[in-house]
Amino acid sequence: AFRTFSWNEPNNKPQFGDVVMTYEQQTLESARLISRKKVAALIGFSERTLDRKTREGTFPPRYVIGRSVNYRFAEVIEWIEQR
């Protein structure tokens, strides 16, 4: 699973297997986009189901760049972990 850390919190220490990133890396990672096709494959939905869930507000917002429909990777992972 993905976890982020704040070194200012004394009890928040990385565990074996965790991905530790600097603040700059966390910012870039949260801004990274993933295509609708890849998101659908990742979570096992069809692209149409993904579009419907986005419209209903039960899935993170999408970001349209030209003809490309994308989602923020960090938001998709957070949605998966909350299920």
pLDDT tens figures, 10-31: 555 555 555 555 666 656 655 7
Contact 43, 3 (CB under 8 A): no
Q: What's residue 14's pLDDT?
A: 54
| Beta carbons within 8 Å of 18's beta carbon, 6+ residues apart | 3, 5
Asked whether the predicted pLDDT for residue 8 surpasses 60, the reply is: no
Q: What's residue 78's pLDDT?
A: 92
More confident residue, 68 or 13: 68
Q: What's residue 11's pLDDT?
A: 58
Burial class (CB in 10 A: 0-12, 13-18, 19+), 57: exposed
Asked whether the predicted pLDDT for residue 2 surpasses 60, the reply is: no
